[in-house]
Amino acid sequence: MGTQTADNQTTLILGLGNILLGDEGFGVHVARCLKQIHLPDYVRIEEGGVGGFNLLGCLSGVERLVVVDAMMLDSPPGELLIWKPGPNFRETGKNILSFHQVGIIELVHMWGLLGYEPEILFLVTRPEKMEPVIELSPRLRSAAEQAAKLIEKLCANDFADLGKSEDLCIP
């Protein structure tokens, strides 16, 4: 087992998505892959699913949050992208009409209001197919394995290689 040192930040890997809609469940599939890998003790893995407000309490003690999810992007399905959202990051064109429409962006803002301000990274890919199946498409299955290996590599050195990896695109 790895150990936590003063240099290590408590890190939460939060896999999001609806596993009943194929590629929409990408983040949860990555979280499940990560549970099979030895990671340092300072890393916690959660399957957030489509938790909405239920996820508000999961940030206690977390200094770094890595959100793994499928998002509609202008990149090819299966290409991994990682970025740190700015303080005014918003989803364009989204109007929330119900508390059931709360997504991760709204939760990030709510966490800030509650005093939780971890370093936040998004590791995302564009879905290829969103249909009522529980498996990922072949392209996203490969991306999920690549994402798990990338997170393992980043965790091994407390994210010191972030921005230096050839495995991902940082917009």
How confident is the model over 14-60, as pLDDT tens digits?
Answer: 999 999 999 999 999 999 999 999 999 999 999 998 877 778 778 88
- Domain hosting residue 141, numbered range: 11-156
Please report whether residue 163 resides in a domain. Answer: no
Question: Would you state the pLDDT for residue 80?
Answer: 95
What does the buried/exposed string (b/e) look like for 58-91 if buried means 16 or more CB atoms within 10 Å of the residue's CB?
A: bbeebebbbbbbbbeeeeebbebbbeeeeeeeee
Strand partners for 47: 15
Please report whether residue 84 resides in a domain. Answer: yes
Please report whether residue 90 resides in a domain. Answer: yes
Nearest-angstrom CA–CA distance, 19 and 130: 10
Please report whether residue 6 resides in a domain. Answer: no
pTM of the model: 0.86
Domain CATH number, residue 120: 3.40.50.1450
Please report whether residue 37 resides in a domain. Answer: yes
Please report whether residue 164 resides in a domain. Answer: no
Q: How many domains, the chain?
A: 1
- Classify the phi-psi angles of 34: left when phi > 0, otherwise alpha if psi is within -120 to 50, otherwise beta: alpha
Whether residue 107 contacts residue 44, with contact meaning beta carbons closer than 8 Å, is answered with no
Please report whether residue 167 resides in a domain. Answer: no
Q: What is the mean pLDDT of the chain?
A: 83
